[in-house]
Amino acid sequence: MRDLSEIRADIDNIDNQLIELFKRRMDCAKEVGYYKKANNIPVLNEKRENEILDEVEKRGGEYGAHARLLYSNIMELSRALQHNIVCSGESLRNEILNADNIIEKTGIKVAYQGIKGANSHEATLKLFPDGNAVPYKSFEDVFEAVDKGEVKFGVLPVENSTAGSVSTVYDLILKHRFYIVGALDLPIDYCLGGLKQSDFSDIEIVWSHPQALSQCASYIARNDFKSTPCANTAIAARDVAEEKRLNVAAICPYKAAEEYGLKILDNHLQDNKDNTTRFIVISKKLYITKDANKISLCFSLPHVTGSLYSLLCRFNSLGLNLTKIESRPRKGKEFEYLFYLDFSGNVHSANVIELISQLGEEMPEFSFLGNYSESCI
């Protein structure tokens, strides 16, 4: 067995050769980029890339899979270099960089799902304190209202820190491809609201939205309550007040209990005391405020091995922090998915706008959903 220092010396020598070869390869890739620009040739040539990767894997012997992964990353870097040379995604780049940076918040109509007292209503008031909050029955109705111009913006929940993603909203985002122009992390605190005549010992059934029931699952199980889902937490509170059943209570926000005259029978029901829900603001027009710190994209990927990994490597190579990735099945296409992705950044960073422009050229069904400020309360 060789001495470790001798082995490491060999590795250092090989690495020195590799880096020089890598530099030569990138110089060649740069030349190819200028040729493609001069001759109006697309940067991505999937057929050639796959032929090279297949050959590399074959020649790699027992390290074939590792060799394929290495060369796949090298090709991603080469392609990114060529995209910069040919100025890929120029129309998308111009749209983003020319977006308005001031959002009018006074006297405008803003849609939310539910009724007065719901968490969505509170989030809307926090985001647009001088706006006019307009209730709608469903998430789809909020999107339709924005689409038809009945309101300028819509406020929707997308994720809870305990119960996870609101999948219906993500499906609607991917369907409509509206812009996201703002976001808010709202602390969520639930109470048990019953009739004035009810006592805690009377309660057998709780009503609430499925997300709230999920966020309070341990509490419900611990008290052996039966649960019934409702369209909204505030609707649950209203219905408890109207139905007048002594054995039924609502799991609802404190403001909803107050709004519909319920007696608070128990406090802070959520299983996670740091429970928060993330709300987004949707718009048909793109706004990017100066303090924007989060970017959202959606796209599909080629149905080939390693396509998602290759994409993520590009973010990693630029030091960009992904904060969420969500996959949703494509309707009518078995085992094919659309992806929703969030990452921290601002489009006025050269690396960020270049990456977005490149992805817009390469990714099927790509949409830039927005660069916006996400605030916490």
Residues 338-351 as b or e (16 or more Cβ within 10 Å = b): bbbbbbebbbeeee
Which of 53, 86, 119 is where one domain is finished?
Answer: 86
At 80 the pLDDT is: 86
pLDDT at residue 79 in the model: 87
pLDDT digits (tens, 9 = 90+) for 189-217: 999 999 999 999 999 999 999 999 999 99
Which residue positions in the chain have pLDDT lower than 70? Answer: 335, 376-377
Q: Is 228 a catalytic residue?
A: no
Counting the structural domains of the chain, the total is 3
Residue 289 designated active-site: no
Q: What pLDDT sits at residue 314?
A: 84
pLDDT at position 287: 96
Q: Is residue 70 domain-resident?
A: yes
* CB 212, CB 99: distance < 8 Å: no
Per annotation, catalytic residue among 128, 139, 279, 368? 279
Of 162, 276, 277, 343, the active-site residue reads 277
**Residue 158 domain boundaries:** 109-188+276-283
Are 43 and 116 in the same domain?
Answer: no
Same-domain check for residues 208 and 262: yes
Q: What is the CATH number of the domain that holds 133?
A: 3.40.190.10
Q: What is the pLDDT of residue 377?
A: 54
Residue after which a domain boundary falls, among 39, 55, 86? 86
The answer on 162 and 198 residing in a single domain is no
Examine the domain organization and report whether 145 and 176 are in the same domain: yes
**Model confidence over 146-183: pLDDT tens digits?**
999 999 999 999 998 888 888 899 889 988 999 999 99
From 248, 283, 318, give the residue that closes a domain. Answer: 283
Same domain, 136 and 162: yes
